[in-house]
């Protein structure tokens, strides 16, 4: 799939009369494969090494994507492009913002987690995303100004950082560009929704060789339409009997009510619309139990959010002399996203008063409802045993009615996220007393501001209206109640953050002496970086006051200083055998008092037994320190990302008694968690090695095969909700419960104190704020599940990358090319401390699935003004997510997620020198994503992180160069 660099895919071929470099150049989807010869054997610097060398001499596997390759894929963002790499799987995507906010797009080489992939721009770091605990946001990379992308598929880089455990993705800006060109791009999604359009202008002037300077300016604007869940048949409902799941929420626009009737009978969780099968389109109700309804919340959500992206990039180079160049870069990107999720669930216990103007005169009980022994019938009889209601029956409620409600009349919740990324680099490079050198100062800032959009409400504003009965929680709002509801909406700043990075780097290299087999190359360098992070939440979020919000979201502020020293040496031991040794020393000094340091070595080799084959390999140790958020994030209440059952009070989704659900939802719902950082976290350590062959048996055929292996110890993660709820007995100490009697007394005393303007009473031991750890008392509801960050154990992964290339010219009949690029995982998984290893190879586990195999297979043809291609993208299926509490006849323990297979095609036409056009279609067969029952995202029925819901998409790109 990829164009692999001369560095890693080439062999020096010795021919009579001269030396040539045969390039095994792969093709991206829809890209014509090319080959070239470089008789100059120019010394260059490629990602992974700081020593300028002949490109064919490296030991590290590096893949290159050229600009023409990028354009022919139809990708308009760095995220789209990175997701095409077979070795990348499971990074963050725009769809993850549905039901969340401030979620960046991220790379994830080797499916080990986005934090293990280092993303660079022109070989230097980019400021991390400022919200949450995230690495670089790919949306901060101005793809329209990128000349090429180099992917180092070997980790623990001595040059860039030992924290690049899974590898490096280096985006490289255009250089020495001259002229003015404009391009426009537009898609047409066959099924509707999710279209993209973009416009770019790039200008460059000055020739570095003749004018001694070059200046580049590039600006780009892109707009992405939203795609609604209701616009795709595979994602339009939360009720999927074919998958054995009903993910409807019990928090409804018309609540499942707990009340007492006029005869003294008590009911828990009865919905007024259950008698007619929950048929109510206004509130999107569906059946979820014999007496309750659920909200089919996906009727309101996005599959892909609406977004706009703007960037401007400028780069200038001035050649002072043959031995000195000055350069400067400036880039600014701005992204705006609007993500819509379901109307806000009012999760606090709601008590609707008898005097409320919407209080119902009667509530209809559904036929088939089980009546307990001792139930008083309207005819005066009393049941002597449990019986079943033979027909629908009206009862008269008395006293307050309680339940959890949803603000359906207020519309879906919207988060408005604005992200700005600013980056400035100034530096110099050249040659001084025989040494090649480069140095620079880099400043990066990532700013994220999230605002409350429509459909967001405050408990402080809404609670008095609900408690007084001014809001209709039983049906359609009238004009007065709707105005009151909308008046309690939130607006303005929600939360955000600023992440800044300032770095100085310097490196130099030269061939220091000669050995019989060749020159010894040596390099040394240093870097010093300061990082600051300031995450700020509005008072609403800090206090957990947002209706249906994620709980308490406190701010995080911290800083650190990072010093690095690295060196590399290349030694030609004997003819055709070359050794590379490198090492990096890193020292982290945190502003809150802790320090880490580590020496990370790396060894590599190349061996050329013949002109047609080269063996290569490397072994290294890596080092990754905890992030500032890992260390400093305060304890805060949140909720699970998936729906779970309280294992004590609602085992396997079955309530143990009538008090379950009376105070809070406890069955098949997002349950409360307590998340926190940990200042005592230790750094992660890694070990990795690669071993491979590069081959070129003929001038038209080339390829490579590399085995790689990575192990990460002391990995830092929040305890997994899937693990804790999957085995609640082994993890009993993570469950915290409270005594409702003590809690009620505390809340009453607190309310009395507030009325008298007195200090609040002390929080009681066992109260909800200081609950009982590990309690199994069936009368105690769940306060929260503790999921702190810990050094949990290890990750491990291993596999094989295989690339095969073919390119053949047939004279006047044109040029044919083919490329096969794949990653096969031989093992992949994790291990918690003190537990057995868990393989997620081909299985959906705590961190998602890792498909055993991915590939792209491309065929290309070029003739004169025309070019064309067909590409097959393939991801092998895997065993689906399993919720142990739901296993039943219609929910088998093992279920397969199907293979994901799509075909793309392009036609390129260049009718004149300055004009080119590309027409393409993605997903020719209009394949839907394979169905999945996972609950990791708000989308239901498929996995939004790993697939594309758009379907067949036509696109066109027009490019015109004026000069």
Backbone angles phi, psi at 921, to 5 degrees: -140, 130
- 755 domain residue, yes or no: no
Beta bridge pairs of residue 302: 228
Q: Each residue of 296-329: pLDDT tens digit?
A: 999 999 999 999 999 999 999 999 999 999 999 9
Is pLDDT of 38 > 60?
no
Residue 809 has pLDDT above 50, yes or no: yes
Instruction: Decide if pLDDT at 136 tops 90.
Output: yes
pLDDT at 757: 79
DSSP string, 549-562: --S----EEEEEEE
Say if CB 858 and CB 1 are below 8 A apart.
yes
3-state secondary structure 48-60: CCCCCEEHHHCCC
Picking from 29-43, 146-160, 798-812, 814-828, which range would have the lowest pLDDT averaged per residue? 29-43
Which residue in 922, 963, 962, 960 sits closest to 199, CA to CA?
A: 960
Total number of domains in the chain: 1
SS (H, E, C) 815-876: EEEEEEEEEEEEEEEEEECCCCEEECECECECCECECCEEEEEEEEEEECCEEEEEEEEEEC
Predicted confidence band at 722 (pLDDT cuts at 50, 70, 90)?
confident
Q: Return the pLDDT at 751.
A: 74
Mean pLDDT of 695-721: 92
Q: What average pLDDT score do residues 474-487 get?
A: 96
In a domain, 335, yes or no: yes
Within-domain flag for 239: no
Percentage of residues in the chain having pLDDT higher than 70: 93
Q: What is the pLDDT of residues 485-524, one digit of tens each?
A: 999 999 999 999 999 999 999 999 999 999 999 999 999 9
User: Considering the domain boundaries, does residue 614 fall inside one?
Assistant: yes
Rounded average pLDDT over 542-567 = 88
Q: For position 3, what pLDDT does the model report?
A: 38
3-class DSSP state of 923: coil
Q: Calculate the alpha carbon distances from 932 to 55, 120, 423, 434, 946 in Å.
A: 45, 34, 40, 60, 11
Strands 878-879 and 866-875, bridge-based pairing: unpaired
Residue 741: its pLDDT value, please?
87
pLDDT at 891 over 70: yes
pLDDT tens digits, one per residue of 842-870:
999 988 999 999 999 999 999 999 999 99
Whichever domain contains 186, its CATH number is: 2.40.170.20
Rounded mean pLDDT of 280-289?
94
- Residue 54's pLDDT is 42
- The answer to the question of residue 862 being in a domain is yes
Given pLDDT bands bounded at 50, 70 and 90, which one contains residue 752?
A: confident
* pLDDT at 46 (0 to 100): 54
State residue 57's pLDDT score: 44
Distance between CA atoms of 492 and 55, rounded to whole angstroms?
A: 54
Quick check: is 131 in a domain? yes
Whether the pLDDT of residue 26 is over 60: the answer is no
Backbone φ/ψ region at 368: left (φ over 0), alpha (ψ -120 to 50), beta: left
Asked whether residue 93 is assigned to any structural domain, the reply reads: yes
The first and second tokens of residue 409, run together, are: 């009349």
- Max mean pLDDT range (78-82, 134-138, 747-751): 134-138
- pLDDT tens track for 619-641: 999 999 999 999 998 887 777 87
Helix, strand, coil percentages for the chain (3-state, nearest 5): 10, 50, 40
Confidence of residue 49 (pLDDT cuts 50, 70, 90): low
Give the pLDDT score at 549: 83
- Is 670 strand, coil or helix? coil
14-22 contacts: CB < 8 A, separation 24 or more?
14/611, 21/55, 21/56, 22/696, 22/699, 22/702
pLDDT of residue 412: 93
Q: Can you tell me the mean pLDDT for 719-740?
A: 89
Domain containing 166 equals 3-230+304-342+415-456+491-632+681-719+789-961
Lowest-confidence segment of 14-18, 292-296, 724-728 by average pLDDT: 14-18
Contact by Cβ (8 Å): 568, 158? yes
Q: What is the sign, positive or negative, of the torsion defined by CA atoms of 264, 265, 266, 269?
A: negative
In a domain, 685, yes or no: yes
Q: How many CA atoms lie within 13 A of 823 on its CB side?
A: 27
Q: 568 forms bridges with which residues in the sheet?
A: 523, 582
Query: Per-residue pLDDT for 897 more than 60?
Result: yes
What local confidence, expressed as pLDDT, does residue 662 receive?
81
- 631 and 596 in contact (C-beta within 8 Å)? no
Q: CA-to-CA distance for 189 and 282, rounded, in angstroms? A: 29
| Beta-carbon contacts of residue 637 (< 8 Å; ≥ 6 apart) | 544, 551, 552, 672, 673, 674, 784
For residue 946, count CB atoms less than 10 angstroms from its CB and return exposed for 0-12, middle for 13-18, buried for 19 or more: buried
Of 218-222, 478-482, 736-740, give the lowest mean pLDDT range: 736-740
Mean pLDDT (the chain, rounded): 89
């Amino acid at each position: 799939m990829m164009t692999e660099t001369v560095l890693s895919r080439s062999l020096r071929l010795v021919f009579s009369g001269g030396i040539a470099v045969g390039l095994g150049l792969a093709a991206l989807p829809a890209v014509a494969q090319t080959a070239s010869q470089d008789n100059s054997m120019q010394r260059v610097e490629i990602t992974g090494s700081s020593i300028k060398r002949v490109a064919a001499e490296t030991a590290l596997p590096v893949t290159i994507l050229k600009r023409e390759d990028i354009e022919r894929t139809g990708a308009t963002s760095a995220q789209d492009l990175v997701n095409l790499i077979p070795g990348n799987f499971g990074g963050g995507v725009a769809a993850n913002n549905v039901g969340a906010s401030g979620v960046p797009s991220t790379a994830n080489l080797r499916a080990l987690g986005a934090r293990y992939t280092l993303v660079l721009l022109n070989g230097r770091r980019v400021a991390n995303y400022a919200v949450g605990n995230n690495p670089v946001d790919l949306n901060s990379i101005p793809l329209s100004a990128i000349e090429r992308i180099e992917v180092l598929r070997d980790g623990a880089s001595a040059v860039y950082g030992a924290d690049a455990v899974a590898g490096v993705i280096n985006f490289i800006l255009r250089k020495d560009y001259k002229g003015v060109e404009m391009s426009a791009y537009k898609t047409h999604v066959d099924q509707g929704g999710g279209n993209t359009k973009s416009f770019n202008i790039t200008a460059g002037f000055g020739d570095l060789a003749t004018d001694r300077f070059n200046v580049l300016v590039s600006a780009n604007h892109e707009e992405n339409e939203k795609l609604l869940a209701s616009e795709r048949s595979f994602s339009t409902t939360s009720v999927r009997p074919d998958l054995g799941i009903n993910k409807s929420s019990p928090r409804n626009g018309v609540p499942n009510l707990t009340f007492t009737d006029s005869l003294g009978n008590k009911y828990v969780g009865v919905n007024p619309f259950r008698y007619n099968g929950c048929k109510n389109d206004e509130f999107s109700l569906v059946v979820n139990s014999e007496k309750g309804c659920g909200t089919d919340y996906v009727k309101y959500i996005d599959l892909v959010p609406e977004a706009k992206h703007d960037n401007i990039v400028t780069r200038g180079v001035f050649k002072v002399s043959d031995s000195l160049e000055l350069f400067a870069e400036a880039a600014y990107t701005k992204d705006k996203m609007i993500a819509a999720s379901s109307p806000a669930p009012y999760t606090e216990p709601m008590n609707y008063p008898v005097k409320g103007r919407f209080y119902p005169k009667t509530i209809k009980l559904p036929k088939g409802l089980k009546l307990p022994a001792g139930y008083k019938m309207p005819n005066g009889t009393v049941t002597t045993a449990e019986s079943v209601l033979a027909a629908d029956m009206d009862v008269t409620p008395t006293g307050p009615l309680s339940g959890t409600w949803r603000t359906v009349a207020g519309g879906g919740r919207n988060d408005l996220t604005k992200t700005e990324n600013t980056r400035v680099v100034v530096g110099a490079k050249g040659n001084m007393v025989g040494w090649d050198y480069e140095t620079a100062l880099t400043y990066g800032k990532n700013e994220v501001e999230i605002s409350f959009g429509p459909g967001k409400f405050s408990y402080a504003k809404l609670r008095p209206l609900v408690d007084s009965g001014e809001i209709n929680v039983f049906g359609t709002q009238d004009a007065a109640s709707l105005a009151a509801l909308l008046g309690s909406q939130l607006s303005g700043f929600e939360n955000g953050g600023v992440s800044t990075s300032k770095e100085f780097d310097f490196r130099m290299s030269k061939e220091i002496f000669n050995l019989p087999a060749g020159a010894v190359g040596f390099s040394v360098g240093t870097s010093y970086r300061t990082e600051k992070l300031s995450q700020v939440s509005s008072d609403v979020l800090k206090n957990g006051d947002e209706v249906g919000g994620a709980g308490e979201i406190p701010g995080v502020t911290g800083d650190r200083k990072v010093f690095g020293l690295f060196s590399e040496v290349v030694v030609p031991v004997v003819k055709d055998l070359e050794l590379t040794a490198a090492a990096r020393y890193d020292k982290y000094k945190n502003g809150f008092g802790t320090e880490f340091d580590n020496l990370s070595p790396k060894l590599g080799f190349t061996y050329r037994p013949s002109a047609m084959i080269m063996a290569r390999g490397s072994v290294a140790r890596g080092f990754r320190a905890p992030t500032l958020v890992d260390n400093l994030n305060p304890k805060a209440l949140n909720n699970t990302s998936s729906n779970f059952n309280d294992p004590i009070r609602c085992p396997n989704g079955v309530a143990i008694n009538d008090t379950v659900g009376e105070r809070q939802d406890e069955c098949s719902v997002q349950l409360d968690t307590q998340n926190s950082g940990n200042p005592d976290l230790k750094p992660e350590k890694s070990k990795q090695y690669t071993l491979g062959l590069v081959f070129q048996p003929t001038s038209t055929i080339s390829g490579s095969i590399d085995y790689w292996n990575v192990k990460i110890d002391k990995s830092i993660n929040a305890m997994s909700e899937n693990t804790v709820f999957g085995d609640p007995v082994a993890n009993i100490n993570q469950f915290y419960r409270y005594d409702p009697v003590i809690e009620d007394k505390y809340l009453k005393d607190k309310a009395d104190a507030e009325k008298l303007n007195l200090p609040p009473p002390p929080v009681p031991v066992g109260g909800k704020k200081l609950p009982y750890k590990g309690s199994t008392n069936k009368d105690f509801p769940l306060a929260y599940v503790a999921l702190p960050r810990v050094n949990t154990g290890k990750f491990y992964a291993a596999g094989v990358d295989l690339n095969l290339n073919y390119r053949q010219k047939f004279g006047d009949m044109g040029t044919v090319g083919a490329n096969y690029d794949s990653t096969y995982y031989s093992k992949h998984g994790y291990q918690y401390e003190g537990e057995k290893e868990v393989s997620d190879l081909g299985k959906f586990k705590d961190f998602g699935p890792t498909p055993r195999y991915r590939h792209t297979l491309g065929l290309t043809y070029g003739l004169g003004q025309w070019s064309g291609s067909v590409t097959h993208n393939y991801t092998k299926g895997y065993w689906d997510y399993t919720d142990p509490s739901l296993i039943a006849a219609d929910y088998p323990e093992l279920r397969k997620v199907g293979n994901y297979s799509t075909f793309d095609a392009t036609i390129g036409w260049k009718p004149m020198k300055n004009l080119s056009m590309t027409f393409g279609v993605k997903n020719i067969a209009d394949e839907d994503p394979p169905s999945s029952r996972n609950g990791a995202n708000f989308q239901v029925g498929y996995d939004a992180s790993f697939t594309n819901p758009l379907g067949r998409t036509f696109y066109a790109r027009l490019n015109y160069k004026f000069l």
